[in-house]
Amino acid sequence: MDFFEAQARAKQRTSRLVALFAVAVLGTVLAGYVATVFALRQTHDYRPSRSGRGAQVSALQAQPPSWWQPRLFLGVSMATFAVVGLASLYKWNEFSGGGSAVAESVGARRVDPHTTDTMERRLLNVVEEMAIASGVPVPGVYIMDEEPAINAFAAGLTTNDAVVAVTRGTLERLSRDELQAVVGHEFSHILNGDMRLNMRLTALVFGILVLGLAGRGILWSLRFQSFGGSRDREGKNSGGLVVAIALIGVALLIIGYVGYFFGRLIQAAVSRQREFLADASAVQFTRNPGGMTGALKKIGGLALGSSMQSNKSGAIGHFFFAQGFRSNFGGLWATHPPLDERIRAIDPQFDGTMIEAPEVVDVAHESFVSAGLAPAAPAAPHALPPRLPGATPSSALNAIGVLSPEQILNSQLLLDSTPTALRTAAQTAAGAQVLLFALLLNDDASTRARQRQLIASRAGGEALRILDELSPALRDLQPAHKLPLLQLALPALRPLPPSALNPFLATLDELVQADGCVSAFEFALQKLLIRSLALGRSPGAAVTQIYSFNAVVPEISVVLSAMAHLSENGTVSAAEAFALGAAQIKLIEGELELLSPAESDVGPLDPALDRLAVASPAIRQRVVAACAHIAGADGEILVREAELLRAIAATLDVPMPPLAVG
């Protein structure tokens, strides 16, 4: 699975980076210790004593402090680690709010999902296409209004709190193909685990920088101190203390900024390597090299290029699509390769000619479809996109975390064939809530009537009115449209405060329970929604706590049993399907047990998935693989099987795109 391989590579890169920064910190400790001993030796009192016993004391005092003092070394080490560690934790805590916290820290503005601005709608449409195609929740979309250059970045700790931010110049100067290439580049960072790595890099570099800032603060605090003082003993001691403090301040300043220099070197080197991969991935996603080279050439032909005007963005320079700030030290701090190298990596025939970017692209001459303002096939708005080959376990697993041109085309057609009224409803908080209520309405007339009464009593008459307006579009809605509609609704639901969100989720649960049973789709919708909103609000909660397969044997048995009972039909029994899945987890195959339907229904399944969500990537990978083989045990993945499979994958933070199902 490319997704898990990419995540593993990101983890390996993180481990190497932590090791490199650990070496840098150890070097900082040694430098700090040497500087401290040097300062003590320079301020040591060498005054001789005149006679008697005092002569012995004087002789001892006359000896300068030893270069090796274990207690002093321990103290300097602990102080350095404490400063660097606490500073890094402080910066990491700033990022605990996820991608939105990063975007807002640089002054970016969140795009209203209901915007009617043509350029903003075009951007939202491109991001939605990429999200549906890759199976990740639709990221928040931000614009840096005060930045006329061409640039963009993705930020977040997980796919659930990710954001994509672009500058005003990107929005106004790029064609749709070029904009799609830039967004594809950023989605590569989302899918490859680069976002979390970027945020860790920033926190670690800041931790080392704080030493330099501390030294500068010490020197600033001593600016009014005189190094002269009185000639008496007390005055000399006081003056010596001030000198020692000043020397420590100078040492911290030098050591901190030297550490920061090498930290930035590491940061820049890692960033440059990833940019080539992201460029290549974007070209692979879109199968349109001209989109990526066009965007890069326009940066080269623009006087401002990709340069950011605000210093607020300096700390996240390695997040950006292109070099955001002037690189010092002969390019050693460059976070991105030179533009001509990036272009030639895609187009070896590039002759060095850049493109003069227009002030504003002529969106009016783009079709309303490409601008994201109208469906592509108005004559048949409810039609499904052309059928792709039926999903099999291997095709489902190969699609995880991968964007292919076929998937992007399928997502475009899927979105274009979605009724416009439903897409419009998904763009507002009130409309998105009613839309999800509507997706849960039962086919049975009496149950449906009870559900409508429940909506009216819990959400009010306005919700019922919106529901009635959506009814014509809902009547012929195809199953393939339902989960993508949930993805489209997520950006409008994320900003809801708990006072509004909790009643909404409670009403949703009552609608699910209205007929006394929970279908695969109902479980999938609830699980996808709750998991995405929870991680979107607290992305720091996504931590690995379980590394042993043996620790989660009961939970894996529950999940595989639930999928096996759902997949049982006249061709394949639950036991046969379960055995196919268990064979994908050889390490514990003999310990897994097919449970009864009652032991693996929604009640036990929900907590089992929550526990597996904090398992290691290796465990989550094998569980998803096992479920895919169970779902396709009869050679075909059906709608209900695909819905549960996507719910399981999403709970385990595994992006699975829409499947071609029977």
- Annotated catalytic residues are 186
- Return d(Cα 2, Cα 407) in angstroms, integer: 15
- DSSP letters, 91-125, are HHHHGGG-HHHHHHHTT-EEPPTT---HHHHHHHH
Alpha-carbon distance values, 17 to 24, 98, 211 (Å):
10, 21, 19
- The whole-angstrom separation of Cα 54 and Cα 356 is 83
List of long-range contacts for 501-508, beta carbons under 8 Å, 24+ apart: 501/533, 503/458, 504/433, 504/459, 505/529, 505/530, 506/458, 507/437, 507/454, 507/455, 507/458, 507/459, 508/436, 508/437, 508/440
- d(CA 533, CA 3) in angstroms, rounded, equals 22
Cβ contact 624:575 at 8 Å: no
User: How far from 280 is each of 189, 233, 330, 439, 578, CA to CA, in Å?
Assistant: 12, 71, 26, 38, 39
| Cα separation, 360 vs 169, whole angstroms | 8
Alpha carbon distance 103, 154 (integer Å) = 9
Q: 150, 201 in Cβ contact below 8 A?
A: no
Query: Residue 124: left (phi > 0), alpha (psi -120 to 50), or beta?
Result: alpha
Distance CA 204, CA 300 (A): 32
Query: What are phi and psi for residue 141, nearest 5 degrees?
Result: -115, 130
CA distance 641 to 629: 11
Distance between alpha carbon 1 and the CA centroid of its chain, in Å? 19
Three-state SS annotation for 587-613: HHHHHCCCCCHHHHCHHHHHHHHHHHC
